[in-house]
Amino acid sequence: MEEKELVRQSKEGNEEAFASLVKKYKTKVFNLAWSLTRDRETADDLAQEAFIKAYFALPTFQFKSEFGTWLYRITVNHVKDYLRKKSKMSKMLFEKMKEMPLVQENEIIKKEKEQIIEQRKKLVHQCLQTIPEKYKLILSLRDIQGFSYEEITKILKISPGTVDSRLHRARKMLRKKLAPFFIQRGGNHEM
């Protein structure tokens, strides 16, 4: 069944039609929540809550945008609300990562290399949590979730130029946060 028809039937109270929409979007909604929270349980709860909000907001859906765009907007707003309430971001974790020595590649075996890669991923995500919300969100949508500029403009309801400038600033901020952790070799920075 076509998505517009599923949405129309969902608006009329057809729970099976809405269940089909949930099935179609549950992974993307979860991934979006997870990329902003970095916690699987929290992301799972937030994704479920976003679908509940969407279900009760269905009467207001006017087909002016794609259902997915509308749903992602609800999810983004819901996660932002959650993060605002839980605004005590963990500076301790950031400080702990600052103290961790990065091991040079030629001194490690394969298993240690994988651990370092994992630590670095965590570091990037922790540094990401320290930048302002609008920049963290744009990085998450573009670089983590892989949304196109056009999709981001629809989800966030901002112009393509704003997407571009925020993305540029966000990447610059993240590089600056990560700079102290880079190992410099021969003029090249490695992570």
Q: Residue 116: what residue type?
A: I
Give the helix, strand, coil percentages of the chain, each rounded to 5: 75, 5, 20
Q: pTM of the predicted model, to two decimals? A: 0.59
> Residue 78 and residue 164: Cα distance in Å, rounded?
24
pLDDT tens digits for range 42-77: 999 999 999 999 999 999 999 999 999 999 999 999
Query: What DSSP designation does 190 have?
Result: E
CA atoms within 13 A on the CB side of 173: 20
pLDDT tens digits for range 84-134: 887 654 444 455 555 555 443 444 456 666 776 787 778 878 888 889 989
| Domains observed in the chain | 3-85 (1.10.1740.10), 91-190 (1.10.10.10)
Query: What DSSP designation does 144 have?
Result: I
Q: Which residues pair with 189 in a beta bridge?
A: 184
pLDDT tens digits for range 153-171: 999 999 999 999 999 999 9
